[in-house]
Amino acid sequence: MRTNRYFLLALAVIIAILWLIREYLRSSDPRLADLVFAYGFCATLATLGVIAWLSARRMRERAIIEELERMKQAGLLTTTTYTARRAFRLRGNERDSLRYFLELENGRVLVLEGSYLYQEDGHSDFPCKQFTIERHTEHGYVLDLLCEGAPIMPEADMLFDETAALKYYPECPDAAEAFDLFETTYPDNTILEDTYDSIFTRLQETQPGQISGM
């Protein structure tokens, strides 16, 4: 609330200054006076809008950090650090639909898919060789992902939709059921028994021509 009052006060002061400048210029060039006021007003709104957005973002980030710290102190936050060798990525038709398959140091495969992969900070260094996942101790879902090692270049970026899912599970009667089965088989935050190469090869066979090496 205090921040909002500061923004309103700043807006009022700037508008008052712009109005005084407009009145000063009107005697010599009314058109210029109106243009200066209009452009100044728009620029002020744009600048204050950006400042307000950045301020709100910082407040959200601070709230998340405080909540994670509270959960850690209450014993509700579990952290696990992983080392990855290689990775490939699946993308769905939607912009924010990503699923990563990462081969870990012990040869197991970790699947990650969730909103934490495309938060505002972007996690632009993911996938990476070493990363830490923060999970809810009781429920197991992922709260955050922290990149700590050098980035890994994904071996492939595959488009995976219902058509590809039906190729992956040809025994399913329709594409929607095949896609649901895939989602159930490879959910977020799961370590698989299958090898990285077997999963990669099988997925590669479902979509010839749709794989692009990164």
Residues 6+ apart with CB under 8 A from 143: 68, 71, 77, 116, 134, 135, 136
Looking at 73, 103, 124, the residue that finishes a domain is 73
89 three-class SS: strand
CA neighbours closer than 13 Å in the CB half-sphere of residue 195: 3
Is 90 exceeded by the pLDDT of residue 199?
A: yes
Same domain, 55 and 41: yes
Same domain, 99 and 204: yes
The DSSP call for residue 118 is G
> β-strand 157-159 against 77-91: which pairing, if any?
parallel
Let me know: does 84 contact 126? Beta carbons within 8 Å.
no
Task: Give the tens place of pLDDT for each residue, 135-151.
Answer: 888 877 888 888 888 99
Same domain, 84 and 52: no
| Domains in the chain, number | 2
Q: How far apart are CA 82 and CA 135, in angstroms?
A: 13
Same domain, 88 and 67: no
What are the structure tokens assigned to 105, written together? 């140091």
Among 8-12, 134-138, 151-155, the range scoring the smallest mean pLDDT is 8-12
pLDDT of the residue at 213 = 43
Same domain, 118 and 23: no
Sign of torsion over alpha carbons 29, 31, 36, 38: positive
Task: Tell me, yes or no, if the pTM score tops 0.95.
Answer: no
pLDDT of the residue at 61 = 62
Q: How far apart are CA 113 and CA 98, in angstroms?
A: 6
pLDDT of the residue at 118 = 66
**Using omega within 30 degrees of 0 as the cis cutoff, is the peptide bond preceding 30 cis?**
no
Looking at 73, 102, 129, the residue that finishes a domain is 73
Residues 6+ apart with CB under 8 A from 129: 83, 84, 149, 150, 151, 152
Task: Give the tens place of pLDDT for each residue, 158-176.
Answer: 988 888 999 999 999 999 9
State which residues form the domain around 47: 2-73
Could you give the C-alpha distances from 95 to 32, 99, 179, 212, in angstroms and in order?
45, 12, 17, 17
Same domain, 58 and 98: no
Looking at 13, 43, 73, the residue that finishes a domain is 73
Going by C-alpha positions, the residue among 2, 14, 3, 5 that lies closest to residue 46 is 14
pLDDT of the residue at 182 = 92
Q: How far apart are CA 183 and CA 161, in angstroms?
A: 11
- Residue 107 gets the label, from left (phi > 0), alpha (psi -120 to 50) or beta, of left
Same domain, 59 and 91: no
Give the residue with greater pLDDT, 115 vs 120.
115
Same domain, 109 and 157: yes
Among 87-96, 141-150, 177-186, the range scoring the smallest mean pLDDT is 87-96
Same domain, 84 and 177: yes
Task: Give the tens place of pLDDT for each residue, 22-58.
Answer: 777 777 777 877 787 787 778 877 777 777 766 766 7
Same domain, 66 and 143: no
